[in-house]
A = this chain, B = another copy of it.
Amino acid sequence: MSMRKTLLAAVSALGLLASPWALADKTYTLRLAETWGPNSGLLGDAPRNMASMAEEMSNGRLKIRIDSSNKHKAPFGIFDMVRNGQYDMGHTASYYYKGTIPNAMYFTTVPFGMIAPEMYAWFYHDDGMELMQKVYEPFGLLSFPGGNTSNQMGGWFRKEINSLEDMKGLKMRIPGFAGEVMSEVGVAVTSLPPGELYTALERNTIDAVEWVGPALDLQMGFHQIAKYYYSGWQEPNAEVQFLINKKAWDKLPADLQAILRVSMRTAAYDMYIQSTHESGVAWEKMKQEYPDVTHKVFPPEVVHALRETTNRLLDEFAEKDELAREIITSQREYLEQVRPWTNISDKAYLNSVAND
């Protein structure tokens, strides 16, 4: 070692190198656990895209090893495993942890909330990142946007919905906060493991199922047995998440932190664009192979009831918890500012060409 140290000192004295760690050429390997299984399409592509950018940009000094759920066996335990240092990083969705931290939910999506570009604008140009950090800091974690599924569909229905009355008693698989809202308007919300959904829908054990959107619904095959594909209300965007253990982060030199931060940011945007692409491809394929498949929008009275219920529940959350109030208010105020712009730009344009 003394030979090595002497050389390092000599080289350093000659000003040939920018910083000691560059000389040491230290390689950092971070272990990442993802919620998803090994073949999960765009959800699994996001952390791999991130890892490959980080490795290439760092010339191999930063490596990220990814374990899928078949390896770690805890798809919804990512938060805990990264928190306790079993893994350095995670790729998951914030709203899976609302049992432990109720305020985690708002950083994935909120019914009747923002679409993807609006949500990114809230994160990066309004209070989004700061509020998310406020929620995760007490657990020794950093959280970053991890990819957007884009606007999610309202689900596959075997029967057409013509009124609010048609929703009463409807047996539907729809999890999370959206399920709570549906339940409030009279839907019989059921929870079934993903592997049983197709058969349940086929045998009329359930009448409807909400999954994601064409890109991820295609392989589930619901379009083969349910004719009506409804536009969504419950996840107008859904941003998944990179979690990082703060201690693991602090050990990285500044340039590798920058490389990691930019790789995550780019992989998140990239997933949004990949979802846009694959949704287009999959929706075309569904319609070609099953020409009976029909796009529908919920009747105005259904939309109205779901929206009123959503707002009532959000008001209740805001009343009970100070930080919840801060987040909900920030998102509502931001939406009020950005949506008029979305309406006079993309919405007006898409309508004008669709009607021509």
A-side interface residues toward B, CB under 8 Å? 3-4, 7-8, 10-11, 14, 16-19, 22-25, 53, 56-61, 112, 115-118, 120-121, 124-126, 150-153, 213-214, 229, 231-233, 236, 253-255, 258-259, 262-263, 265-266, 269-270, 272-274, 276-281, 283-284, 287, 295, 297-298, 300, 303-304, 307, 337-356
Q: With A18-B59, A18-B60, A277-B125 in contact, do A346 and B284 touch (Cβ < 8 Å)?
A: no
Residue of B nearest to A3 (CB): B14
| Residue from B297, B337, B356 within 8 A of A281 (CB atoms) | B337
Bound: A229/B348 CA distance, A: 12
Is there contact, CB below 8 Å, between B283 and A344? yes
**Interface class of chain A by DSSP:** helix
Is there contact, CB below 8 Å, between B347 and A351? yes
Bound: A344/B112 CA distance, A: 15
Is there contact, CB below 8 Å, between B283 and A53? no
Is there contact, CB below 8 Å, between A56 and B255? yes
Extra 14 A-B pairs, beta carbons < 8 Å, given A57-B259, A115-B346, A262-B263:
A11-B23, A22-B25, A57-B258, A59-B255, A120-B273, A125-B278, A151-B346, A231-B345, A266-B269, A269-B269, A276-B342, A279-B341, A280-B342, A346-B347
Is there contact, CB below 8 Å, between A345 and B304? no
Contacts of A232 in B (CB 8 A): 345, 349
Contacts of A345 in B (CB 8 A): 150-153, 213, 231-232, 279
Could you list 28 examples of A-B contacts with CB < 8 Å? A8-B16, A18-B61, A22-B25, A56-B255, A56-B258, A57-B259, A57-B262, A59-B253, A117-B273, A120-B273, A121-B274, A124-B270, A151-B345, A151-B346, A151-B349, A153-B344, A231-B349, A236-B346, A265-B266, A277-B338, A279-B341, A279-B345, A280-B339, A281-B337, A287-B340, A297-B348, A300-B355, A343-B354
Residue of B nearest to A302 (CB): B352
| Residue from B11, B337, B347 within 8 A of A354 (CB atoms) | B347
Closest CB of chain B to A258's CB: distance in Å?
4
Q: Chain B CB within 10 Å — which of A56, A61, A153, A278 has the most? A: A56
Residue of B nearest to A126 (CB): B277
The 4 closest A-B pairs by CB, nearest first: A151-B345, A280-B338, A231-B348, A59-B255
Contacts of A278 in B (CB 8 A): 125
| Residue from B56, B280, B304 within 8 A of A340 (CB atoms) | B280
Bound: A275/B248 CA distance, A: 34
Contacts of A263 in B (CB 8 A): 262
Is there contact, CB below 8 Å, between B24 and A16? yes
Bound: A170/B155 CA distance, A: 48
Contacts of A273 in B (CB 8 A): 117, 120-121, 124-125
Bound: A118/B338 CA distance, A: 20
